[in-house]
Amino acid sequence: GYRVSLQGNFFGHNDTYMTFPEYNPRKHIKLDPPMNIQSNATASKCQIWWSLLNVPWYLTEILQYELQYKEYSMSWEVALNKTLPSSLPQVEIEATELRSGIAYTARVRCKVSENENSYHSQWSDWSQTTVFQRADVPKVSEEILNTKTMQYLFIPLSFGTLLYLFWSCKLSSRRQKASPALTFPHQLLSFSHSIVCTMGILR
């Protein structure tokens, strides 16, 4: 610790003023702002990372960061702030928090965590900014979507048709004395016609 005093000549008198009777530098830290902030945005999230300059190694693990981001055309007064839970120099923003087609800008600052008792600091100045924009979600064409839908429906429809033909043939054999050569081939021909129609739709 240190004792800090101010000495000076005031109105012809030499006076000493005690500014800090006990001054501990580790309780009055202001770090340099984070450097080299960068970003990478996809359709699902935006990753932002940065580096530190002139920060002792024993402080890097007890730092906390605050991220501030906004739409590029808006003022910082309406920006969103996030105090990050980790001491790692990186953060991810979910795409649901960003509007599609809108450019955003972000910056970050740091200080010693408030949960730390051995050191204390104020927030650093804000870093330089990085600009990013959420990537658009690729749209599946309507033709591909319809084809896949028909493919998914083909199996249950075929199974239902077979089940219907089975019960139809069974009931017909009980109620009518028609020749099997006339009944089942006719049912089979109808089923084959429905299969051919379904395959034509899938093509």
Q: Which pLDDT does position 137 carry in this prediction?
A: 62
* Residue 172 in domain: no
* Residue 116 in domain: yes
The pLDDT of 104-130, averaged and rounded, is 95
* Residue 130 in domain: yes
Tell me, yes or no, whether 8 and 43 share the same domain: no
pLDDT at 100 over 50: yes
Backbone angles phi, psi at 83, to 5 degrees: -85, 115
* Residue 97 in domain: yes
* Residue 154 in domain: no
* Residue 139 in domain: no
Q: Which pLDDT does position 161 carry in this prediction?
A: 74
Residue with the two structure tokens 């902030």:
37
End position of a domain, from candidates 134, 163, 196: 134
* Residue 56 in domain: yes
CA angle 164, 170, 175 (to 5 degrees): 120
Q: Assign residue 96 the CATH number of its domain.
A: 2.60.40.10
Domain that holds residue 11: 1-27
Q: Name the DSSP letter for residue 86.
A: S
**174 vs 155, residue with greater confidence:** 155
**DSSP secondary structure, 19-79, as one string:** EEEEE-GGGSEEPPPPEEEEEEE-SSEEEEEEE-SS--HHHHTTEEEEEEEEETTS-GGG-
Could you tell me how many residues make up the chain? 203
User: What's the chain's average pLDDT?
Assistant: 81
The pLDDT of 118-123, averaged and rounded, is 94
* Residue 21 in domain: yes
Q: What is the pTM of this model?
A: 0.62
pLDDT at 166 over 70: no
Tell me, yes or no, whether 7 and 46 share the same domain: no
Tell me, yes or no, whether 40 and 124 share the same domain: yes
pLDDT at 198 over 60: no
Ranking 3-12, 24-33, 92-101, 111-120 by mean pLDDT, the lowest is 3-12
Q: Which pLDDT does position 14 carry in this prediction?
A: 85
Q: What does the radius of gyration of the chain's CA atoms come to, in whole angstroms?
A: 37
Tell me, yes or no, whether 9 and 59 share the same domain: no
Backbone angles phi, psi at 198, to 5 degrees: -65, -40
With beta carbons less than 8 A apart as the criterion, state whether 62 and 113 touch. Answer: yes
Tell me, yes or no, whether 44 and 130 share the same domain: yes
Domain count within the chain: 2
